């Protein structure tokens, strides 16, 4: 039951993180920071051990040097009993120095490896934070594009286009009707009769003009004969 419950909980957390990627990134970053803190403490302990070994190695090496000098003086002054003691001490110090040197080299490698791991985790945390900012910015941009696309897909212009089409048809019909009325008026019998009457009036006026001119000519001719 415990495993089943943990499985459901894991699925629920994963679903929450998918819906809230910022939370997922924060959880990952916090987890890495926690590991970094633990690794930092471990690295500090390793470095402390290295420093202790270095200090002990330096002290033993210094003691070995001094013992070697003392042994030389004891031999030169024929202090055999003291020389025997110093030889034993020198042998022990050489063994201790050699052992400390081996441990110190291992400690140095461990410290370097721990520091490299620490720096790697620190770099990963920085990269993850940068990735978080970049990915969240991309997500926001994508979400905005999706919203715009959904609005465009949901935007129906069919009714507006249909309304304009009705207006266009009405305008065309009205223009055609006006043209038809004009054509009918231009070809109507009344218009033709009015034109004919206008022409008849002009003909009658010209006839009257000719009559007036003939009367004037006759009158002028009569006056010349009288004279």
Q: Looking at residue 62, what is its pLDDT? A: 95
- Residues 202-221 pLDDT 10s: 777 777 878 888 777 777 77
> CA dihedral in degrees (120, 122, 125, 130; nearest 10)?
-100
Indicate the pTM of the whole model. 0.49
Q: Which CATH class is domain 2-155?
A: mainly alpha
Token pair for 126: 């920085």
C-alpha to C-alpha distance for 53 and 7, rounded to whole angstroms: 48
79 φ/ψ sector (left φ>0, alpha ψ -120 to 50, else beta): beta
With a cut of 70, list the residues of the chain below it in pLDDT: 1-19, 154-163, 181-198, 200-201, 222, 224-227
C-alpha to C-alpha distance for 91 and 164, rounded to whole angstroms: 110
Task: Look at residues 70, 107, 111 and name the one whose alpha carbon lies nearest to residue 88.
Answer: 70
Q: Looking at residue 184, what is its pLDDT? A: 64
- Residues 94-130 pLDDT 10s: 999 999 999 999 999 999 999 999 999 999 999 999 9
């Amino acid at each position: 039951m415990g495993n089943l419950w943990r499985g459901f909980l894991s699925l629920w957390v994963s679903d929450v993180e998918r819906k809230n990627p910022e939370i997922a990134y924060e959880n990952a970053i916090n987890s890495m920071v926690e590991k970094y803190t633990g690794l930092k403490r471990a690295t500090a302990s390793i470095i402390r051990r290295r420093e202790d070994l270095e200090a002990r190695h330096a002290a033993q090496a210094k003691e070995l040097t001094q013992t070697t000098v003392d042994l030389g003086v004891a031999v030169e002054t024929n202090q055999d009993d003291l020389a025997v003691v110093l030889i034993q001490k020198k042998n022990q110090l050489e063994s201790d120095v050699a052992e400390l040197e081996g441990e110190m080299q291992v400690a140095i490698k461990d410290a370097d490896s721990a520091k490299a791991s620490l720096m790697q985790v620190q770099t990963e945390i920085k990269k993850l934070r940068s990735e978080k900012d970049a990915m969240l910015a991309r997500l926001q941009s994508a979400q905005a594009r999706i919203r715009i696309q959904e609005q465009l897909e949901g935007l129906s212009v069919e009714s507006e286009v249909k309304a304009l089409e009705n207006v266009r048809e009405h305008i065309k019909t009205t223009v055609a009707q006006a043209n038809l009325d004009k054509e009918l008026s231009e070809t109507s019998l009344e218009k033709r009769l009015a034109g004919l009457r206008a022409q008849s009036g002009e003909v009658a006026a010209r006839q009257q003009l000719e009559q007036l001119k003939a009367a004037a000519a006759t009158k002028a001719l009569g006056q010349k004969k009288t004279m």
